[in-house]
Amino acid sequence: MHGPIPPHRYFPYLTWTDIEAMSDRENVVIVQPMGAIEQHGPHLPLVVDSAICTTVLGQALTQLDAAIPVYSLPPLYYGKSNEHWHFPGTVTLSAETLLRVIHDVAESIYRAGFRKLVLLNAHGGQPQVLEIAARDLHLAHADLMVFPLFVWAVPNCAGDLLTAKEMELGIHAGDAETSLMLSILPDQVRMDRAEAEFPQNLPTDSWLTMEGALPFAWVTRDLSASGVLGDPTVATLEKGDRLLGSLASGWVTALTDIYRFCQPQAKSI
């Protein structure tokens, strides 16, 4: 049941007595992998974001120093995916439901004595929800450290492998995600169905952008008939292997930093 997560790092395999016996529980890092079940064009399965998040985390945990206590919760496969719901197969939670799920998971972890929770997300449609949840949880429990993090945010080699156009506009089911899936779940990738599609009629001579500093609201149907935003036709296994390795390496460093992290405290005046 642990999938790509090393079994000795898989939280559900612990017993309650294992947890009770843990020393320094407040510095043990608990990770909640988060993805989505949503359309990724005609060539990729619905599970892309969940598969990428869990596999990157699993590889990072395999490489992590054994002395650093980090455990993974089961993946949260469903996310806030309503930007894709015009495409059959997408399963979405509302923002309110996702907030409640995160809240209840975090409260359970807190009650067990843990004080460091990573919300490790691979779905681009929900970082803002995670950020709201993290702030509210820290306000509710001043000693609870919550990290709302995006799996792609660590330094990685994407810039060396993808075109400038792909880096800017290839945000869904394009070269990067397709290459990664060729590395992770090659039997589920249908390259014969891959087609390139980039968003059309974006604002020109304007500060407004799809996902920049001054974004506008959109749903996928506004930008793509196929559900693809990018060029998956140029994806390769070699690129996927390199992306996976660089992301995993980045998360080894990030998880180590989280283990060492201490919540800042302002001095009293």
200, pLDDT greater than 90: no
> 172 forms bridges with which residues in the sheet?
229
Q: What is the pLDDT of residue 258?
A: 98
Compute the distance between CA of residue 215 and CA of residue 134 in angstroms, rounded to an integer. Answer: 23
pLDDT at 140: 98
Q: What are phi and psi of 6, to 5 degrees?
A: -55, 135
Amino acid letter for position 60: A
3-state SS, residue 174:
coil
Distance CA 201, CA 241 (A): 34
User: Cβ contacts of residue 146 below 8 Å, gap of 6+?
Assistant: 106, 117, 118, 119, 133, 134, 137, 138
Greater confidence (269 vs 225) lies with: 225
Look at residue 211 in the predicted model and tell me its pLDDT: 87
Give the pair of three-digit tokens for residue 27.
């510095």
Sheet holding 70-72, edge to edge: 70-72, 29-34, 116-121, 145-150
Give 31's DSSP letter. E
pLDDT at 120 (0 to 100): 98
Q: Can you give the pLDDT at residue 257?
A: 98
| pLDDT number for residue 187 | 98
- Examine the pLDDT at 135 and tell me if it is beyond 90: yes
Taking the CA atoms of residue 149, residue 152, residue 156 and residue 161 in that order, the dihedral angle to the nearest 10 degrees is: -170
Q: Name the token pair of 104.
A: 């209840």
Instruction: Please tell me the predicted confidence (pLDDT) of residue 268.
Output: 77
Confidence of residue 267 (pLDDT cuts 50, 70, 90): confident
**Residue 212 pLDDT greater than 90, yes or no:** no
Task: Please classify residue 260 by burial: count the beta carbons closer than 10 Å to its beta carbon, then call 0-12 exposed, 13-18 middle and 19+ buried.
Answer: exposed
pLDDT band at 182 (very low <50, low <70, confident <90, very high): very high
b/e map of 101-133 (b: 16 or more CB within 10 Å)? bbeebbeebbeeebbbbbbbbbbebbbebbeeb
Q: How many whole angstroms separate alpha carbon 247 and alpha carbon 177?
A: 13
Average of per-residue pLDDT across 181-186: 98
| Mean pLDDT for the stretch of residues 210-233 | 95
**Mean pLDDT confidence for 56-73:** 98
The rounded distance, in Å, linking the Cα atoms of 36 and 118 is: 17
Structure tokens, 265: 């405290």
Distance, CA of 189 to CA of 178 (rounded, Å): 8
Provide the pLDDT for residue 237: 98
Name the least confident of 89-98, 165-174, 204-213, 228-237. Answer: 204-213
Looking at the DSSP assignment, which residues form a beta bridge with residue 209? 215
In whole angstroms, what is the distance from residue 48 CA to residue 32 CA? 17
Model confidence band, residue 231 (pLDDT cutoffs 50, 70, 90): very high
Picking from 22, 48, 18, 6, the residue whose alpha carbon sits closest to that of residue 31 is 6
High-pLDDT (> 70) share of the chain, %: 100
